[in-house]
Amino acid sequence: MSIDISDSIESGNLTIKVLTTNTTLSTLLTDEKFEGKVVQPHTNASKYLGEHGLAMSIEIKQGEETKKYLLDAGGPRNSIISNAEAMSIDFKDYDKLILSHGHVDHFGGLMNVLPKLKEGCEIIITPNSFNQNTILVPKASQEFYSPEELTEGFRELQKQNAFIFSIKLPSMNRSLIENLVSQNKLKIVETQKPIKLSKGITTSGEIEIFDETELTKGIYLMKSRKEFEKNTFRDENSIYINVKDKGLVVISGCGHTGIINTIKHGQKLTGINKVYAVIGGFHKEWEKTEDIEESIRIIEELNPEITCGMHCTGFEFNKIMSRHPSHTFGIVGTEFHL
């Protein structure tokens, strides 16, 4: 399948703003090397809240018209509401809300955001976003367990205190969302296929897996209380934007399918090979250094102008990626003018 976004956005007409992420920082300076393409919030950051969650505002000027899209709704502390107020953002300005995937750090604020959206706003979501997910991260000396090993011996592994991190993630309640959508005269668009949002911008749809080793390890689907399944993150949805003479802007929620898989899928889907910017969560926190190095090597070969891994990307990725001139930090209030 392919999506034609050759009707590109004029350079300078795309603004991406981080509404929620894990970090706020008042002293982070705007790096002059980006020539205004990356702007940090400076002292305004003291007005914002950080939490483990992600949400971004995407604004595109098309002649006299402005299109605004919301990617995700942040975490359950609802920092998106207070941050939007501090940023003078009105949710009624948004044409569509795209949910990147069904994890609570991305849909946590959804129940409070939905009533604030304008009538007719589309909520784009994948059917698999309602799946039950469990996170099981083993101790450092142990490789990640297979779904079969967990199905056979989970309780015994629990008794052995085999996990550093063990949590069943809250799943989205379909009926609650559908009721709120109906009450507020919104519209749910539930699909696994890519959707062209407007000129020069599309969702990814189901992301093709070119390299299985890139899939986030330690997150499993629950078929029943005792049965674990491999998670290939068929709920994940990213955004691709074509900026004229610059290339593809790749925006990722968590990158559970792998940030390189996400980039390659965007190149194949749109037919645009040049990558201008890669922004979002890359979920490299639990990966080995050699695997992170390989992902960074590929990004360096693509040579984007901006690489910003925030939220779940992890310290190690940012430390290594900082050797490339495209690297920057994303905190609450960071703006990208592309």
Domain CATH for 161? 3.60.15.10
Residue 76 has what pLDDT? Answer: 95
Q: 192, 205 in Cβ contact below 8 A?
A: yes
Residue ranges with strand state E in 292-334: 306-310
Domain membership flag for residue 280: yes
Report, as ranges of residue numbers, the positions in the chain whose pLDDT lies below 50.
Answer: none
**Within a domain: residue 9?**
no
The pLDDT assigned to 225 comes to 78
Indicate the number of domains in the chain. 1
SS3 content of the chain, % helix, strand, coil (to 5): 30, 25, 45
The whole domain housing 109 covers: 14-337
On whether the CB atoms of residues 335 and 48 are closer than 8 A, the answer is no
Would residue 2 count as lying in a domain? Answer: no
Would you say residue 290 lies in a domain?
Answer: yes
Which of 111, 115, 107 minimizes the C-alpha distance to 75? 107
Asked if residue 234 lies in contact with residue 206, where contact means CB atoms within 8 angstroms, the answer is yes
- The predicted pLDDT at position 1 comes to 87
Whole-angstrom distance, CA of residue 230 vs CA of residue 307: 29
pLDDT at 141: 77
Residue 206 lies in a domain: yes
User: 323, 293 in Cβ contact below 8 A?
Assistant: no
Both tokens of residue 76? 């359950």
Structural domain includes residue 4: no
pLDDT at 293: 97
